[in-house]
């Protein structure tokens, strides 16, 4: 069984603050994929990143960065210098490496960035 926990339900920050979203996962698979998706108010999920379980390198993409720590089963996501357009629900997800279509999602964290 796979489980993803996003303990933070809601986070509210002022523009230009950094915000970190926590994601902890459980899986019996030895290899797996981790994902982050963004869901803006319009509803469609937007893919942000996919990380293979054997690649523990941190990744930075513009104002986004991800910290993967296999030892603590965590895959945290940081938005640096947040902007109002970052306001959305963010989902962490997990899939077995044999089937990366079958995603197990966390409950999501609602991020509100105030001007």
Comparing CA positions, the residue from 46, 45, 36, 48 lying closest to residue 76 is: 36
Give least dist CB 71 to another protein, A: 25
CB 48 within 8 A of CB 60: no
Among 42, 13, 32, 41, residue whose Cα is nearest residue 92? 32
Give the number of residues in contact with another protein, rule: CB under 8 A.
Answer: 20
Task: Return d(Cα 44, Cα 41) in angstroms, integer.
Answer: 8
Interacting residues with another protein between 64 and 93 (CB under 8 A): 91, 93
Task: Considering only residues 18 through 47, tell me which ones interact with another protein, judged by CB under 8 A.
Answer: 37, 42-47
Which among 15-23, 67-75, 80-88, 103-111 is the span making contact with another protein, rule CB under 8 A?
Answer: 103-111
Task: Catalog residues that contact another protein under the rule CB under 8 A.
Answer: 37, 42-47, 50, 91, 93, 99-108
């Amino acid at each position: 069984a796979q489980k993803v926990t996003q303990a933070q339900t809601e986070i509210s920050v002022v523009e230009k603050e950094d915000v970190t979203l926590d994601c902890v996962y459980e899986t019996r698979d030895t290899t797996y994929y981790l994902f982050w998706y963004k869901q803006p108010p319009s509803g469609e999920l937007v893919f942000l990143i996919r990380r293979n379980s054997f690649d523990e390198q941190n990744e930075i993409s513009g104002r986004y960065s991800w910290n993967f720590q296999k030892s603590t089963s965590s895959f945290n996501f940081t938005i640096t210098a947040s902007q109002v357009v970052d306001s959305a629900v963010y989902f962490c997800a997990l899939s077995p490496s044999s089937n990366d279509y079958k995603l197990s999602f966390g409950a999501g964290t609602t991020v509100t960035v105030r001007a």
